[in-house]
Chains A and B, each alone.
Chain A
Amino acid sequence: MKYEPVIGIEVHAQLKTDSKLFCGCSTGFAAAPNHHVCPVCLGLPGTLPVLNRKAIEYVVRTCIALECEVSPASRFARKNYYYPDLPKAYQISQYELPIGRNGKLTVRAGGKEKTIRIHRIHLEEDAGKLVHDASGGSCVDYNRTGIPLMEIVTEADVRSSEEAVAYLTSLRSILQYIGVCGANMEKGEMRCEPNISVRPVGAEEFGTKTEMKNLNSFRAVRLGVDFEIERQIDAIENGERIVQETRRWDEATQTTQTMRSKERAHDYRYFPDPDLVPVEVSASVLERIRAKAPELPEPRRVRFISQYGLPEYDAEVLTGTKAMADFFERAAAIHNDPKAVSNWIMTELMGCLNESGKTIDECLVTVEDFTALLGLMGKGVISARMGKDVFKDMFASGRPPAEIIKEKGLEQMNDEIAISEAVEKVIADNPGPAADFRAGKKQAAGFLVGQVMRLTGGKANPKIVGRIIEEKLLSE
């Protein structure tokens, strides 16, 4: 029998606010344990949470980008459960009235467009972090407690791991573009939990689903989802029953395993949080946020093709992240050859970034120095070959190209008299190839140009060398 996977995806995105969702503690990443805590996020008695305005604005911005309806009124609820990562024994979340509903995101997977509907987007606070092996007991760090998380839930529209990865890639790009989330999966800024079930092709009814956790990269999502689909199909074919449970992706064995499952079903006993008053997003606030909405990746990709005449592939790669697209546009505004700018970004710049594991934000090369290098090559001050070496130095040191060229003496030799002298010497030293060329063997020119380049330490402008060799040998 043929089976069809049915997948819904929950994403938790950490919002890029400076302070926590309900108190002024810092959201900074690398603090020592329990250094970013206060009575509010520690859940001490007698404290009151006060909502961070920016977090609401960020969720509304996301709702606009994902074409959600923004609820005019929404409110917070308590999700009750006992676990040491939760100092209040409840998490402030949203239940009946999330901020956003009924959105959609269109992605491209396998050469086809696919629209994934967004079920809801809501705001909640993160829990703390448990370290299990430090001391025999369990150790708790509450720095993360209260950091704003936005939960984005799709409808069960995803039908393959490829679509899942396409959705997450596109979502990450959008969250970065609108500046609400760093969206780095490895850093846990974006966490993804797919719900997976399978059913015979053509069936209406959903199969029993499992939820998967611990997918910390796009690669893990692809492998984990594929594994789980196969596992469920095998189980059904063997006459087993799929158990509704949470499974953990294990990177070491590349399999999913049952997480210590609870003997009883979750019962979170949600109820409205009396500490927090309702949030109303008025039409005017919505309009203000909409007016400030930045250009999204897809329209920008289309614009790159029409405005700069770039090939589809270039436009797709360059608009993959906002920072890269910004770098391109600033460079293209200075150096008026968009295709050359694109080529150098996609080969040299991205090559160096990949090799060093850095992001464009960490890159030491400024747009000004980058375009200066393109200008120097355009004017023939250095060859494209030399330009690549200069760029590697710029990338490593952050120094401007002119300084590197001067220091290393890399200027291209354009002096015709000096080149003529070198050509004459090479012809004199290599009578055989010179005679071949005179006799009409054009290939011999390559050898002679190479010799001149060697003689001049690679600095001679090869175009001029070629022309002079031809002039000298054919005019005789």
Chain B
Amino acid sequence: MKLTREEVREVAYLSRIEMTDEELDRMTGQLGAILDYADMLNELDIEGVEPTSHVIPMKNVMREDVVKESCGVEKALMNAPDRFGDFFRVPKVIDEGEGH
């Protein structure tokens, strides 16, 4: 499995990480090496083995539907880089539509 520079650029874009050409080259090499390493697992025969999503055999960890006190708007906004009244303020975003 060979990772391409274009794939790295795409993943960086999806994560909103800006990369210079030099960084892209370096990441293509490093990420590629990691993927090649993980690729060794493909040599195993896992026919009939359920994929593992959790290493601890637990299920149905739930809570009752009970309202708890929220943390308060001041605490919520305490570390916000910017605010407008009780809102978090972020740089203007173009409307791509809520609820993807």
| In the complex, the 9 A-B pairs of residues with the closest C-beta atoms, listed nearest first | A24-B68, A272-B53, A139-B87, A54-B65, A53-B62, A33-B86, A140-B88, A135-B84, A277-B58
The answer to whether B70 touches A26 (Cβ under 8 A) is: yes
Partner of A83, one of B56, B60, B84, B93: B93
On chain A, the residues within 8 Å of B100 by CB distance are 79, 81, 83, 91, 127, 266, 268
Contact B96 A135 (CB under 8 A): no
- Cβ contact within 8 Å between A52 and B73: no
Type the 1/0 row for A15-36, where 1 means its CB is closer than 8 Å to any CB of B: 0011100011110000011111
Contacting chain B: which of A163-171, A257-265, A321-329, A444-452? A257-265
Give which listed residue, B58, B63, B65, B87, contacts A131 with CB less than 8 A. Answer: B87
- Chain A residues closer than 8 Å to B98, beta-carbon distance: 85, 127, 129-130
Assembled-state Cα–Cα distance A26/B65 (Å): 10
Q: Binding site of B, secondary structure by majority: helix, strand, loop or mixed? A: loop
Interchain CB contact under 8 A, B16 and A75: no
Which residue of B10, B85, B90 contacts A138 across the interface (Cβ within 8 Å)?
A: B90
List, in ascending order, chain A residues with CB within 8 A of B82's CB. Answer: 137
**Inside 8 A of B76's CB, which chain A residues have their CB?**
34, 37-38, 42, 142
Q: Which residue of A lies closest to B62 (CB)?
A: A53
Size category of the binding interface on chain A: 35 or more
Taking the closest CB of chain B, its distance from the CB of A377, in whole angstroms, is 45
The yes or no answer to B48 lying at the interface (CB within 8 A) is no
Contacts of A83 in B (CB 8 A): 93, 96, 100
Contacting A248 at CB < 8 Å: which of B60, B72, B87, B97? B97
Say if the beta carbon of A51 comes within 8 Å of chain B.
Answer: yes
Contact residues in B for A120 (Cβ distance below 8 Å): none
Contact in complex: A82, B14 (CB < 8 Å): yes
The SS class assigned to the A binding surface is loop
Partner of B88, one of A34, A269, A274: A34
Docked CA distance A161–B64 (Å):
40
| Contact size range, B | 35 or more
Q: Contact: A138 with B66, CB < 8 Å? A: no
In chain A, residues 319-354, which have Cβ atoms closer than 8 Å to a Cβ of chain B?
none
Known contacts: A25-B67, A274-B54. The answer to whether A137 contacts B62 by CB under 8 A is no
B59 at interface by CB-CB < 8 Å: yes
Asked if A457 is at the interface (CB within 8 A of a chain B CB), the reply is: no
Which of B31-89 touch A at CB < 8 Å? 53-54, 56, 58-73, 76-77, 82, 84-89
The answer, yes or no, to whether A376 is at the interface (CB within 8 Å) is no
Pick the residue among B14, B54, B72, B91 that contacts A137 (CB under 8 A).
B91
Asked whether, in the complex, the Cβ of A36 is within 8 Å of the Cβ of B70, the reply is: yes
- Give 1 or 0 for each of A253-290: 1 = CB within 8 Å of chain B CB: 00000011010101111001010111110000000000
